[in-house]
Structure 1
């Protein structure tokens, strides 16, 4: 699975504005709703449910919020670079400025874990992360992800 299997040019935002974690999740939910056809409130509720189990902020300014929804027909992702970092209660306490949200059907099983692993793999590349942070254009951000995406056996 590659990051471009999860996101499309329409699901990338290079300068998302959010002041809080809750507002960030609401903005991501709105963007995802336009792409996957599920109500933004349902997406937001699924993300909040997961966050109550523990923060999906993985450290170094990165978060991978995710949720499972019964109405989804496939796996969807939204990638965002925040204009200003927000507190996300991340493992290392650092505020988050890069977010790769993943939504999967409730019945996705191992595909949910593969999608999470794919996002984490991409965001472990320090060079790519630095370039993503410096990019302010949606299409350029998507192009960077697409160019750097390499298939991995899962």
Structure 2
């Protein structure tokens, strides 16, 4: 596991650009719908767990980014869905800024520390202004993936 990004956690077609949603609940539902075929768990189950987690406190942590997340019974592996919105929405973020980038993080119910490690990796990447800016500028899912992957950034840190 590398610490600077979370690209290795992405599976299948899990990046969605310019999605139209009209609020926080709709965003979570849209993320759950797109995660369901990747995760092999019903969208309703995913959405229920993520909405329940969100009720404990906002996962919108600032700079227009959010990491809705949950531990899902029956899930076999950590699953991520990255979504960039067509326009920012009110998410109740900690800094009161609207959200336009969301990364749904789903972990198996028994994931424990692995869930927290994955959450920390996603959070670190989204707090990096260069990565977040590149995610917003991406014109394709491949470009957004490259923004997350950042092999050049890792090579620079290793030198």
The TM tier, using the shorter chain, reads over 0.9
Gaps of 5+ in 2: none
Tell me what 1:68 maps to: 71
Deviates more, 1:65-74 or 1:132-141: 132-141
Tell me what 1:98 maps to: 101
TM-score with structure 2 setting the length: 0.89
Contact 1:9 1:139 in 2 (8 A): no
Asked whether 1:23 is paired with 2:26, we answer yes
- CA RMSD in angstroms comes to 1.6
TM-score with structure 1 setting the length: 0.92
Query: Which of 119, 129, 132 is the equivalent residue of 1:129?
Result: 132
Structure possessing the higher radius of gyration over alpha carbons: 2
Contact 1:9 1:142 in 2 (8 A): no
Contact 2:11 2:38 in 1 (8 A): no
Q: What is the count of residue pairs matched by the alignment? A: 151
Structure 1 residues 39, 88: CA separation in 2 closer, same or farther (over 3 Å shift)? same
Contact 1:9 1:138 in 2 (8 A): no
- CA offset at residue 43 of structure 1? 0.3
1:4-153 residue pairs with structure 2 within 5 A?
A: 4-8=7-11, 10-148=13-151, 150=154
